[in-house]
Amino acid sequence: MERHHPRRWLAAFVLFPCLAGPALAEPAIEVFTTAGAPAVNVPSGVAVIELDASGRLDAELSQDLPADPELAEAMMRERMATPEWQETADRYADSYLGLARAWQLGIEKVPAVVIDGRYVIYGQPDVAAVLREAERLMGQGGRR
């Protein structure tokens, strides 16, 4: 019977986080904004959530609808039967997930940049500048 050495396992568990370092240490960044307050200099891979997207989508969909409710319903049913409707439904789902996330985080105004779901920086549309400042401040506090 082969015996496993606890020290080898311990070394593997201790070294793995060190070797994976930067990949595990990357902060999760979320940007909350509206069409009227666009974010700039957003690094690739950063989630940008436009909180007014669902309202804009509502306006887009209702733009050509007739005033008669029955005719409007019939027209919407036709639209919903098209292959393109799934993309529209996905856009709705994404926009409402973004609203729910903003509510969950307690976002009060835009633009807002959220780091690791804990730190919120309001009022700065330049995301790269926010991240540089956050890194500087976290470095002063002994973090990183």
In this prediction, residues 5-14 reach a mean pLDDT of 43
Do the beta carbons of residue 86 and residue 79 sit within 8 Å? no
Q: Is the peptide bond before 69 cis (omega within 30 degrees of 0)?
A: no
- pLDDT tens for 44-67 read 999 999 999 999 999 998 989 999
- pLDDT tens for 27-44 read 799 999 999 989 999 999
Q: Is the pLDDT of residue 142 over 60?
A: no
Q: Is the pLDDT of residue 123 over 70?
A: yes
Task: Kindly report the CATH number that applies to the domain delimited by 26-140.
Answer: 3.40.30
pLDDT given at position 138: 82
pLDDT given at position 137: 86
Q: Is the pLDDT of residue 20 over 50?
A: no
Inter-axis angle of helices 85-105 and 53-62, to 10 degrees?
Answer: 150
Contacts of 81 (CB under 8 A, 6+ apart): none
Q: Is the pLDDT of residue 21 over 70?
A: no
pTM comes to 0.72
Q: Is the pLDDT of residue 17 over 50?
A: no
User: Could you give the count of Cα atoms lying within 13 Å of 34 in the half-sphere of its Cβ?
Assistant: 12
Domain ranges of the chain: 26-140
Contacts of 134 (CB under 8 A, 6+ apart): 113, 115, 119, 121
